[in-house]
Homo-oligomer: A and B are copies of this chain.
């Protein structure tokens, strides 16, 4: 089967920058390419748009197929389309970024990926295509949005302590925050509620567990 058009058409793909925080580092998910071009190199998960699926659906589908991840925060980032970014044919890539909760970071290796691994964002391997550029932009967007929104909460599992949130914000932004001020800010947004449960993790006072009031709403505030 083949498809014919009166004018040349580019191929369209989505690529997804999946972030998580693990071992006090901001990490990005990469897969090792099984096929040419760039065979053996590391690349962002992603793939070609099906002709009858929406772009968002494509991003979610590719993410699931290649990594097993699903139901995580996923947002369109930017569209990349330099004429020579893929040697096979003209390819337009609609980039997304996603935030993976801290727990349950086990990956099922998907069909198109020889291997999938988390990399420290400051120690990335050589990347296929223009994926270094995509990751750079995604990181800028992530840190910018976390500065004035509760986007960072999308990294959290169902329930979490305030110290865990603070630690996450510190790791992503690279700067420390005052404990009392951070808690004042976060609780002041009124998007969290106490679960009533506490979390005990060592020889010290247990911490209150919180959860999102409304899991779908990112409250944006200064």
Contacts and interface: CB of A to CB of B under 8 A. Distances in A.
Nearest to A5: B3
Interface string A74-86: 0010111111000
A25 to B, nearest CB: 28
Count of this chain's copies in the oligomeric assembly:
2
Nearest to A81: B55
A91 B5 CA distance: 13
Interface residues of A, number: 29
Interface string A1-34: 1111111111110000000000000000000000
Nearest to A56: B81
Nearest to A53: B83
A55 B82 CA distance: 7
A80 B80 CA distance: 14
A29 to B, nearest CB: 22
A48 interface: yes
Nearest to A80: B55
21 contacts: A2-B4, A2-B6, A3-B5, A3-B6, A3-B7, A3-B8, A3-B9, A4-B4, A4-B5, A5-B5, A5-B9, A7-B48, A7-B51, A9-B12, A49-B81, A52-B83, A52-B90, A54-B83, A55-B79, A76-B78, A81-B94
